[in-house]
Amino acid sequence: METYRASNHPGRTRAATWNELYSSRVEPADITPAARYTFESELRIGTLGPIRVVRMTCSHSSIDRTSRHIDSRSARSFTVMLQVRGTGMFAQYGHESLLRSGDFSLCDSAAPHSYRVDEHSEVVMLRIPENILSEYLPSPENVCGRHLLATQGLTSTVTALALSLCDRLETGLPAEFCARVARHLMELMATAYALEFDSQPAGPSVISGRHAQVKLYIEQHLRDPHLTPSMIANRHKLSTRYLRMVFAVGGETISAYILRRRLEECARQISDPRWRGHSISEIAYAWGFNSTSHFARTFRMRFKSSPRDHRRLTGSPVALEADIGVAVVDDFEPAVGSDYVGPAALNAAGSDR
């Protein structure tokens, strides 16, 4: 296995160098360590048949993969995020999972996601090409961001096998056995997911597949204020009526999904200390809102508090700039009968109603 250590690089350039190394050897992303100059991390990378194995230990840091890191021309893959030591907070497709030792979640490389780990964490990432994983897990998008606890079903068995195979890779595993054991691992993992999630209702396979494509497109373009049901329908060469039927598989209208996901991402950044220097208005506009009153009203409806209260209650210090710039966002309510002018996808009169 290839081995890389952050400690091999000077403190003043360590964070930038590690970002470049991670982006080139694992996948493009932004790594933000809590301590830039004393940041510690190690990567050990190998292959197990069709599976790329990455074993990473690191100090307190976050990994963010955004739309700008995603190249639509690159082959899509999925990654099993297995928490070995410490804790990690993984978020994708609107799901946020706290991973403790022995838990794992699934990550879609084609969709934005974030992963934050505490001090002295270790994670094993099993990167599997889409065409291979789909043989074992037909609709992997449906479980991305959702986690399996170490105490559930076959999770502990999957974890034990994965760690054992990682150890064998480091000491040497004959190449002729790698593909065989990789198949066993994927079958076991798929069974673990089936035990937990297959009882949930699903639509016809064609509809479910379309739903996954549309959902991925929304996640990739969530910041675009011009994201509308008609734009999405045109992009996928569907009628708006068929699009409504496709999205009904998830039990939520397409406008409601876009609004919910934007509010969730705004709430995540508002409570994130790294964004304390940005006003709440800036955050809202960056996630596709163009009406502060509509943002404040819908935020209050979803989270039962104003954006300012949410920032204060979740422990993120409020910068002076934010306090000055956010008064309208937090407290203003539109007059009765006033019209909201914003992204058509979020308008109550949107075309998917």
173 domain-assigned? yes
The structural domain count of the chain equals 2
Contact indicator for 92, 110 with CB cutoff of 8 Å: no
> Could you list the residue range(s) of the whole structural domain that residue 35 is in?
2-197
Using the 3D structure, point to which of 134, 169, 197 is the last residue of a domain: 197
Task: Give the domain CATH number at 192.
Answer: 2.60.120.10
Q: What confidence score (pLDDT) does residue 162 get?
A: 92
318 domain-assigned? yes
pLDDT beneath 50, residues of the chain: 199-202, 316-353
- Are residue 135 and residue 27 in the same domain, yes or no? yes
Using the 3D structure, point to which of 143, 175, 197 is the last residue of a domain: 197
40 domain-assigned? yes
The CA distance from 116 to 105, in Å, is 13
351 domain-assigned? no
pLDDT digits (tens, 9 = 90+) for 32-43: 998 888 899 999
Q: What confidence score (pLDDT) does residue 333 get?
A: 34
Using the 3D structure, point to which of 197, 224, 253 is the last residue of a domain: 197
- Are residue 178 and residue 250 in the same domain, yes or no? no
Contact indicator for 82, 123 with CB cutoff of 8 Å: yes
Full-model pTM: 0.77
- Are residue 99 and residue 240 in the same domain, yes or no? no
pLDDT digits (tens, 9 = 90+) for 101-154: 999 999 999 999 999 999 889 999 999 999 999 889 888 888 899 999 999 889
- Are residue 33 and residue 151 in the same domain, yes or no? yes
- Are residue 228 and residue 148 in the same domain, yes or no? no
The CA distance from 127 to 319, in Å, is 39
- Are residue 264 and residue 151 in the same domain, yes or no? no
- Are residue 120 and residue 252 in the same domain, yes or no? no
- Are residue 101 and residue 239 in the same domain, yes or no? no
Q: Are strands 104-108 and 51-58 parallel, antiparallel or unpaired?
A: unpaired
353 domain-assigned? no
Return the HEC string of 279-348.
CHHHHHHHCCCCCHHHHHHHHHHHHCCCHHHHHHHCCCCCCHHHHHHCHHHHHCCCCCCCCCCCCHHHCC
CB proximity list for 172: less than 8 A, separation 6 or greater: none
Q: What confidence score (pLDDT) does residue 160 get?
A: 93
- Are residue 155 and residue 125 in the same domain, yes or no? yes
- Are residue 234 and residue 174 in the same domain, yes or no? no
Provide the mean pLDDT of the chain: 83
- Are residue 41 and residue 160 in the same domain, yes or no? yes
Task: Give the domain CATH number at 251.
Answer: 1.10.10.60
Q: What confidence score (pLDDT) does residue 340 get?
A: 31
Contact indicator for 144, 109 with CB cutoff of 8 Å: no
Contact indicator for 158, 102 with CB cutoff of 8 Å: no
- Are residue 186 and residue 216 in the same domain, yes or no? no
